[in-house]
């Protein structure tokens, strides 16, 4: 039995304030089009449950009957939306291109019966479904007496609240909706609106436009729901990419989108905005963030204690097993179960079961193994199902939290210098099992050999560009940052205006146990700017690489600040120590768990309909790129962003579909100080939040690499 009502401006389920951790869902199948099967629908709902999604808005029509039966079975809240949308018309009314009286359905009596007929059909079919909590009058059809009549019909026939978003644009009809609803408003705008009027509960019926590589910076909406009681969550747009399986002239299957069917005009890949790919093969990397942000058990670890905030409405934390683990640099040291008893809606603090009971002890005090300061430890608390559920087996993780302490030590190099061979045109450096060759005329490191194998397929270059994401295209980032692409594509090894007498673009310095070759690169920008790429080589084969530039002061922030290297495609195994297992970005990394992860280079491409920026990993301490025998390169830094893909950003940018990418010949590595955020408020103008842009100041990035294996 359940009771859903609005009390004192708050939506309550059985007397508890509800938070919608929701998604919008179109009924769509890559194989069956709009005729989604019951099996596909059940897979959707199971996937939602596994990723802490608790609600669906049926955008923008009633779903097939079995959908509601499955929501009843698994426990998914539903906003049931009637089949009414005249999207383009309301935009024309607001821009003054269409008279209000010509809007559909508006207030014209001739549309009244059609509107009420749709409302009645939905209510009579679905009113006995306990999963349905809210009736919705439709989508983006502005306002008018006909929609008000539909809302009043719902109220007359049923006790559930009524939702309709578009009246936010026309306050004269605000009584159509019992809920203050908006689409794609920044969290700051929602907060400001509720500070003026919080008499009605509020939701974002659409937010986090998940088109392509996106869903960055969406944690602000979760914090808003925690801080402002009248804001009660939102619904991500949307659940699944909408694309249809096609076969090209060469017999290759691919996912077709707007324009692939001879349709003109079209919206391109604009419907590729799901957190699940169009084939339902697996959640996209965006789902890692969704699952973390939507988890109902919030975990805060500090020193020897763990604070658990139980956001469940009716489930005690003790219904789950809580496993606490300690890792040293990604390697599990020990683990133990923690008994918890946090009632729904409450918070409690516990001493972690791995520490003794004495007060005031630091992490390094409790166990001799932790006396080493020059290393990094992580404590992870994981809540897991205690018993089998319809949607997952016992042991499945529903929530986690983590805390880290310490840093990895800097490397210690041999005291003796490497062997140096200096000639008119080249500088050679060699030691045991390695050799490096620098060209004085070709502008960089032309060879790094290790274990008798060449590691580089091309001269390393500064990297300031990424393959534009859907959000980048929407906010015109390629146009605004175009000079940085030129700087990446067309570096000048020498001053294009000619060298002054005695001037050279390279410099050699020697230290007690190293030799350094540095290059000044003149970049194809207006005004002309430069960067310096320096390589310091030690006798153990380690190459400390430093990129520095004042260009951001002149040109503004770049999409990326790093170095790009190319290896042979045989080097296809990627292993890293940092957040994972899915890709992370500076504004989409909350769900990444610190650990050691492994994948293949080609797997980094991901399921995007259009090739774009992907496969990045933030806060990487080390990463190795090797062949099947473990031979390759190890990259290290205090913290860096790192990716290894089969193509350069420029190659990916030129392909409209994944199957159009060129044959794989290389592994392309990008190590960077930072890459700008993905953004995600919308895909038609919103930029990444300012804190996720690179600084407009001089930048320096330092990392190391050396050969391993063999």
Q: pLDDT tens digits, residue range 93-103?
A: 888 899 988 89
398 found inside a domain: yes
* Amino acid 42: pLDDT: 97
3 found inside a domain: no
**Number of domains into which the chain is organized:** 3
445 has pLDDT over 70: yes
* Amino acid 364: pLDDT: 46
C-alpha to C-alpha distances, 105 to 38, 120, 149, 166, nearest whole angstrom: 33, 16, 11, 13
User: Could you tell me if 148 and 65 lie in one domain?
Assistant: yes
323 found inside a domain: yes
- Express each pLDDT in 508-521 by its tens digit: 999 999 999 999 99
- Express each pLDDT in 617-644 by its tens digit: 999 999 999 999 999 999 999 999 999 9
501 has pLDDT over 80: no
CA angle 484, 486, 492 (to 5 degrees): 115
* Amino acid 454: pLDDT: 97
Q: Which of 37-41, 407-411, 481-485 has the lowest mean pLDDT?
A: 407-411
User: Could you tell me if 310 and 281 lie in one domain?
Assistant: no
User: Could you tell me if 194 and 232 lie in one domain?
Assistant: yes
Mark which of 381, 406, 431 sits at the end of a domain. 406
Element (DSSP H or E) covering residue 78: strand 77-81
* Amino acid 366: pLDDT: 47
Query: Model confidence at 363, in pLDDT bands (50, 70, 90)?
Result: very low
Distance, CA of 160 to CA of 178 (rounded, Å) = 10
166 preceded by cis ω (within 30°)? no
* Amino acid 230: pLDDT: 97
* Amino acid 65: pLDDT: 97
* Amino acid 370: pLDDT: 52
Q: What b/e sequence results for 342-364 when a residue is b if at least 16 CB atoms lie within 10 Å of its CB, and e otherwise?
A: beeeeeeebebbbbeeeeeeebe
- The total number of residues shown for the chain amounts to 710
Half-sphere exposure of 477 (CA within 13 A, CB side): 27
With contact defined as beta carbons under 8 Å apart, do 270 and 211 qualify? Answer: yes
452 found inside a domain: no
Strands 347-351 and 305-310: antiparallel
User: Could you tell me if 167 and 228 lie in one domain?
Assistant: yes
Q: What is the mean pLDDT of residues 663-686?
A: 96
**Distance between terminal CA atoms of the chain?**
65
Mark which of 406, 423, 445 sits at the end of a domain. 406
Distance, CA of 569 to CA of 565 (rounded, Å) = 12
In sequence order, the 6+-apart residues with CB closer than 8 A to the CB of 556 are: 696
Q: What is the mean pLDDT of residues 41-62?
A: 97
Partnered with residue 595 across adjacent β-strands are 578
Domain assignment of residue 573, given as a range: 457-488+524-537+548-708
464 found inside a domain: yes
- How is residue 119 annotated by DSSP? H
* Amino acid 503: pLDDT: 63
Residue 323 belongs to domain with CATH number: 2.60.40.10
Distance, CA of 299 to CA of 301 (rounded, Å) = 7
User: Could you tell me if 342 and 477 lie in one domain?
Assistant: no
* Amino acid 330: pLDDT: 94
Residue with tokens 């930072």: 674
Mark which of 293, 326, 357 sits at the end of a domain. 293
Q: Which of 66-80, 97-111, 573-587 has the lowest mean pLDDT?
A: 97-111
Partnered with residue 347 across adjacent β-strands are 309
User: Could you tell me if 342 and 462 lie in one domain?
Assistant: no
Distance, CA of 104 to CA of 113 (rounded, Å) = 13
424 class by beta-carbon count within 10 Å (0-12 exposed, 13-18 middle, 19+ buried): exposed
Which two structure tokens, joined as six digits, stand for 203?
């939701």
Q: What is the mean pLDDT of residues 375-386?
A: 95
User: Could you tell me if 475 and 577 lie in one domain?
Assistant: yes
User: Could you tell me if 381 and 482 lie in one domain?
Assistant: no
* Amino acid 43: pLDDT: 97
592 found inside a domain: yes
Q: What is the mean pLDDT of residues 272-282?
A: 93
281 preceded by cis ω (within 30°)? no
Residue 652 belongs to domain with CATH number: 2.70.98.10
In percent, the amount of the chain with pLDDT more than 70 equals 96
* Amino acid 355: pLDDT: 60
User: Could you tell me if 232 and 302 lie in one domain?
Assistant: no
Phi, psi of 62 (to 5 degrees): -60, 140
User: Could you tell me if 397 and 465 lie in one domain?
Assistant: no
* Amino acid 94: pLDDT: 87
Active-site positions? Answer: 140, 206
Average pLDDT value for the chain: 94
Distance, CA of 657 to CA of 10 (rounded, Å) = 46
With contact defined as beta carbons under 8 Å apart, do 704 and 411 qualify? Answer: yes
561 class by beta-carbon count within 10 Å (0-12 exposed, 13-18 middle, 19+ buried): buried
Residue with tokens 């918070």: 347
499 has pLDDT over 80: no
Distance, CA of 291 to CA of 457 (rounded, Å) = 39
Query: Model confidence at 494, in pLDDT bands (50, 70, 90)?
Result: low
* Amino acid 371: pLDDT: 47
Distance, CA of 673 to CA of 670 (rounded, Å) = 10
* Amino acid 333: pLDDT: 92
* Amino acid 361: pLDDT: 47
- Express each pLDDT in 553-603 by its tens digit: 999 999 999 999 999 999 999 999 999 999 999 999 999 999 999 999 999
Q: What is the mean pLDDT of residues 221-225?
A: 96
Q: What is the mean pLDDT of residues 189-206?
A: 96
- Express each pLDDT in 15-30 by its tens digit: 999 999 999 999 999 9
CA angle 435, 436, 437 (to 5 degrees): 130
Query: Model confidence at 33, in pLDDT bands (50, 70, 90)?
Result: confident
In percent, the amount of the chain with pLDDT more than 90 equals 88
164 found inside a domain: yes
Q: What b/e sequence results for 133-150 when a residue is b if at least 16 CB atoms lie within 10 Å of its CB, and e otherwise?
A: bbbbbbbbbbbbbbbbbb
- How is residue 250 annotated by DSSP? T
User: Could you tell me if 97 and 240 lie in one domain?
Assistant: yes
User: Could you tell me if 475 and 599 lie in one domain?
Assistant: yes
Distance, CA of 628 to CA of 133 (rounded, Å) = 54
604 has pLDDT over 50: yes
214 found inside a domain: yes
Partnered with residue 533 across adjacent β-strands are 519, 547
């Amino acid at each position: 039995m359940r009771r859903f009502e609005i009390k004192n401006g708050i939506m309550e389920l059985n007397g508890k304030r509800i938070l919608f951790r929701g998604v919008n869902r179109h009924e769509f199948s890559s194989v069956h089009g709009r005729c989604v099967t019951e099996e596909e629908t059940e897979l959707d709902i199971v996937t939602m449950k596994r990723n802490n999604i608790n609600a669906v808005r049926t955008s923008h029509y009633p779903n097939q009957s079995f959908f509601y039966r499955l929501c009843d079975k698994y426990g998914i809240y539903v906003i049931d939306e009637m089949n009414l949308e005249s999207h383009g018309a309301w935009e024309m009314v607001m821009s003054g291109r269409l008279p209000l009286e010509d809007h559909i359905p508006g207030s014209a009596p001739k549309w009244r019966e059609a509107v009420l007929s749709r409302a009645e059909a939905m209510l009579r079919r679905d009113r006995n479904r306990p999963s349905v909590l809210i009736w919705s009058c439709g989508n983006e059809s502005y306002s008018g007496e006909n929609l008000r009549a539909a809302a009043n019909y719902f109220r007359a026939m049923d006790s559930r609240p009524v939702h309709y978003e578009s009246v936010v644009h026309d306050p004269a009809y605000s009584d159509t909706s019992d809920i203050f609803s908006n689409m794609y408003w920044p969290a700051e705008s929602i907060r400001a609106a509720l500070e003026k009027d919080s008499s009605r509960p509020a939701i974002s019926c659409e937010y986090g436009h998940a088109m392509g590589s996106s869903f960055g910076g969406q944690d602000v909406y979760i914090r808003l729901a925690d801080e402002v009681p009248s804001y009660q969550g939102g619904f991500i747009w949307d659940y699944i990419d909408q694309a249809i399986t096609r076969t090209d002239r060469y017999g290759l299957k691919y996912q077709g989108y707007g324009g692939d069917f001879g349709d003109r005009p079209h919206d391109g890949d604009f419907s590729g905005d799901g957190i699940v790919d169009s084939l339902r093969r697996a959640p996209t990397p965006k789902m890692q963030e969704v699952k973390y942000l939507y988890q109902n058990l919030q975990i805060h670890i500090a020193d020897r204690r763990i604070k658990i905030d139980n956001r469940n409405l009716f489930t005690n934390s003790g219904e789950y097993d809580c496993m606490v683990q300690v890792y040293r640099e990604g390697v599990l040291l020990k683990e133990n179960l923690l008994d918890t008893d946090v009632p729904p809606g409450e918070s409690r603090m516990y001493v972690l079961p791995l520490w003794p009971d004495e007060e005031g002890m630091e992490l390094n005090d409790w166990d001799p193994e932790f006396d080493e300061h020059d290393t990094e430890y992580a404590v992870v608390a994981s809540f897991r199902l205690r018993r089998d559920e319809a949607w997952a087996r016992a042991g499945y993780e529903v929530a986690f939290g983590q805390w880290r302490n310490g840093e990895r030590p800097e490397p210690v190099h041999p005291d003796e210098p490497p062997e140096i061979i200096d000639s008119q045109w080249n500088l050679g450096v060699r030691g045991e099992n390695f050799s490096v060759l620098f060209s004085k005329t070709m502008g960089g490191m032309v060879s790094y050999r290790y274990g008798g194998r060449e590691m580089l397929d091309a001269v390393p270059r500064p990297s300031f560009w990424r393959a534009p994401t859907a959000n980048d295209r929407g906010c015109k980032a390629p146009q605004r940052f175009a000079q940085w692409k030129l700087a990446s594509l067309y570096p000048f090894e020498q001053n294009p205006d000619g060298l002054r007498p005695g001037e050279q673009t390279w410099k050699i310095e020697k230290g007690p146990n190293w030799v350094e070759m540095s290059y000044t690169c003149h970049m194809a920008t207006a005004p002309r700017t430069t960067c310096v790429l320096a390589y310091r080589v030690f006798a153990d084969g380690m190459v400390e690489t430093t990129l520095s530039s004042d260009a951001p002061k002149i040109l503004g922030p770049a999409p990326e600040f790093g170095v790009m290297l190319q290896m042979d495609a045989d080097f296809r195994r990627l292993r890293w120590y940092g957040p994972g297992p899915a890709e992370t970005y500076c504004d989409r990394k909350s769900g990444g768990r610190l650990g050691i992860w492994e994948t293949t280079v080609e797997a980094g491409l991901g399921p995007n309909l259009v090739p774009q920026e992907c496969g990045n990993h933030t806060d990487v301490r080390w990463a190795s790129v090797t062949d099947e025998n473990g031979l390759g390169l190890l990259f290290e830094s205090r913290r860096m962003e790192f990716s290894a893909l089969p193509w350069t950003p420029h190659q990916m940018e030129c392909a409209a579909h994944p199957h159009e990418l060129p044959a794989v010949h290389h592994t392309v590595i990008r190590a960077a100080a930072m890459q700008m955020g993905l953004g995600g408020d919308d895909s038609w103008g919103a930029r990444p939040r300012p804190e996720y842009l690179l600084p407009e100041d001089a930048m320096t990035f330092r990392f190391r690499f050396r050969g391993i294996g063999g």
